[in-house]
Amino acid sequence: MATKDANLQLRFTSDGSLNSDGFTSSELRLKGAPLEGYAVEVMVPAEGGATDRTLDIYIFGATATGVTSASGLLAQTPVQLVDTTAIGTHIIPFNLPDGYEYIVLKMDTGGTSVDFSVVLAYVVENVGVKPSRSIHFG
């Protein structure tokens, strides 16, 4: 489990249960931080409701404030999380492109009576990856 900093939290207990409305975080500014070696850690404690619930997690970024889902897609869950795979801790690595300073976390849910309980999310160092300001291509 990665070390968490309250200043890098994207989803809080006060946001309540993750339901069919989904969730979009407030912008988080990462100015002056490493260009690569980041991850978002999302903790899904439980799920309830009917069947066929899904969860997709996206990280969007931009060079200026005003990040939306039309901004640059930095990362996403490699597969759609479903009833049997959503519970647990998910690490989604991302790199911050040169000049990008702002990120937003977006969670899309689907299914009937969606309730993933109180989901928390933080920006953390990607476990096993040394943070670097080096520019990498590809």
Q: In this structure, is residue 133 part of a structural domain? A: no
Which residues, at least 6 apart from 100, have a Cβ–Cβ distance to it below 8 Å? 30, 61, 62, 63, 72, 74
For the segment 50-69, what is each residue's pLDDT rounded down to a tens digit?
678 899 999 999 999 999 99
Beta strands in 31-131 (DSSP E): 38-44, 54-62, 72-76, 81-82, 88-94, 102-110, 120-125
Q: Is the separation of the CB atoms in 9 and 122 below 8 Å?
A: yes
Q: To the nearest whole number, what is the mean pLDDT of the chain? A: 88
The four Cα atoms 2, 125, 8, 28 give a dihedral, to 10 degrees, of -150
Is it the case that residue 11 has pLDDT exceeding 70?
Answer: yes
The confidence score (pLDDT) of residue 1 equals 59
For the segment 101-111, what is each residue's pLDDT rounded down to a tens digit?
999 999 999 98
The confidence score (pLDDT) of residue 23 equals 96
Q: In this structure, is residue 9 part of a structural domain? A: no
Domain count, the chain: 1
Please give the average per-residue pLDDT across 31-39, as a whole number. 78
Q: In this structure, is residue 13 part of a structural domain? A: no
Is it the case that residue 137 has pLDDT exceeding 60?
Answer: no
Which structural domain range is residue 90 located in?
22-125
d(CA 22, CA 114): 9
